[in-house]
């Protein structure tokens, strides 16, 4: 049986889901708030390729009721995609929220972004797109994948008179305009004074992957140590197909105090190898499950997980 080194590394996150964070959806972009009155008392997170479930306990530390907008951001999805891209529709349909045992229907927001180059940060272009005639359906297209007429979107952007948008577009008229779409769920949540609020999420994650694994390229992202590489060689899976998913943990640091009780369980399929980065102790609790338990936890990095089948 393989042993894994779960160490801190500088991740370029491909995370696909996220911790709750308070904030608001503003015209200039999504803003996260550092909440000084609400503590994430506990988080019980279960991650597998089939399902992700998260159980939270939030405690209002004040003597008055507090109402906040809670945000749940999904990842940015590019407007161009391969035919075998992860099932975005299934994720959206599977997303469920319960508060104190009762199901609620969160509001969905769609935002667009353009990243001019690899050295630049993505720019929120939602307002610009709307000024250029993009409908909510148009901006949602990277998720719905129903409209393959890229020329229509290209023409709208190229002919738009917004000067700020034009600065972000490629100067070469033949170069493809790369933009992305993000879905953000939000809901107003009342936290009763000196009380605990129970929130639960459940959804099917976006699972990506590739036809061939190249450990030398992915070693830092997934903290592949020598034992993991030895397991790949033994299983003759050095260039095997693999699957991967991610989870945004760092937004869980936006609450009043560290997470008092944090538990993360990761499940692999039988006959799979798994690797990911973790700074603390990792326990194998069954043939297919690994568990991490932390006290007073402050998430400082996101999580990327790779699954490789033994041939």
Block means of pLDDT (10 residues each) for the chain, length 311 residues? Answer: 27 54 64 86 95 95 94 84 66 92 94 88 94 93 76 90 94 89 92 96 86 72 82 76 86 90 96 91 95 95 88 64
The CATH class that applies to domain 21-309 reads mainly beta
Supply 6's token pair. 């779960």
Closest CA to 183 of 272, 108, 122, 262: 108
Q: What is the pLDDT of residue 227?
A: 79
pLDDT at 83: 47
The mean predicted confidence, pLDDT, of the chain is: 84
CB atoms within 10 A of CB 217: 8
Q: Tokens representing 168?
A: 């972000």
Between CA 225 and CA 241 the distance in angstroms is 19
Are 197 and 250 in contact by the 8 Å Cβ rule? The answer is no
Each residue of 89-141: pLDDT tens digit?
888 889 999 999 999 999 999 999 998 887 888 999 999 999 999 999 999 98
Rounded to a whole number of angstroms, the CA Rg of the chain reads: 21
Spatial neighbors of 238 by CB under 8 A, at least 6 apart, are 213, 215, 229, 232
DSSP per position, 150-182:
HHHHHHHHHT---HHHHHHS-SSTTSPPPEEEE
Closest of 257, 289, 292 to residue 57, by C-alpha = 257
Helices (H) and strands (E) in the chain, counts: 7, 18
Q: Give tens-digit pLDDT for 189-221.
A: 999 999 999 999 999 988 887 777 776 667 788
Q: Give the pTM.
A: 0.82
Residue 25: what pLDDT?
63
Q: In the chain, what are the domain boundaries?
A: 21-309
Check residue 205 and report its DSSP letter: P
């Amino acid at each position: 049986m393989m042993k894994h080194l779960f160490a801190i590394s500088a991740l370029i996150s491909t995370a696909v889901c996220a911790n709750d964070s308070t904030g608001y959806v503003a015209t200039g972009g999504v803003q996260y708030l550092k909440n000084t009155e609400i503590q994430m008392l506990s988080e019980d997170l279960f991650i597998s390729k089939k399902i992700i479930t998260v159980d939270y306990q939030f405690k209002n530390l004040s003597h008055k009721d507090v109402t906040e907008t809670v945000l749940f951001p999904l990842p940015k999805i590019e407007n161009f995609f391969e035919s075998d891209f992860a099932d975005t529709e299934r994720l959206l349909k599977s997303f469920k929220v319960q508060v104190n045992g009762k199901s609620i229907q969160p509001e969905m927001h769609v935002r667009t972004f353009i990243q001019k180059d690899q050295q630049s940060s993505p720019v929120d272009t939602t307002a610009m797109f709307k000024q250029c005639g993009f409908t909510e359906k148009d901006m949602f297209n990277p998720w719905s994948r129903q409209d393959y007429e890229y020329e229509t979107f290209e023409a709208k952007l190229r002919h738009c008179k917004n000067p700020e948008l034009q600065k972000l577009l490629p100067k070469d008229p033949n170069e493809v305009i790369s933009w992305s779409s993000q879905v953000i769920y939000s809901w107003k949540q009342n936290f009763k004074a000196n009380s605990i609020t129970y929130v639960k999420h459940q959804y099917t994650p976006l699972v990506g992957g590739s036809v061939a694994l190249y450990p030398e390229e992915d070693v830092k992202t997934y903290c592949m140590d020598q034992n993991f590489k030895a397991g790949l060689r033994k299983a003759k899976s050095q260039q095997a197909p693999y699957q991967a998913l991610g989870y945004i943990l760092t937004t869980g640091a936006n609450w009043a105090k560290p997470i008092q009780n944090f538990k993360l369980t990761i499940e692999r399929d039988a006959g799979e190898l798994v690797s990911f980065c973790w700074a603390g102790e990792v326990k194998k609790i069954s043939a297919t499950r690994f568990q991490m338990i932390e006290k007073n936890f402050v998430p400082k990095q996101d999580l990327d997980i790779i699954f490789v089948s033994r041939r």
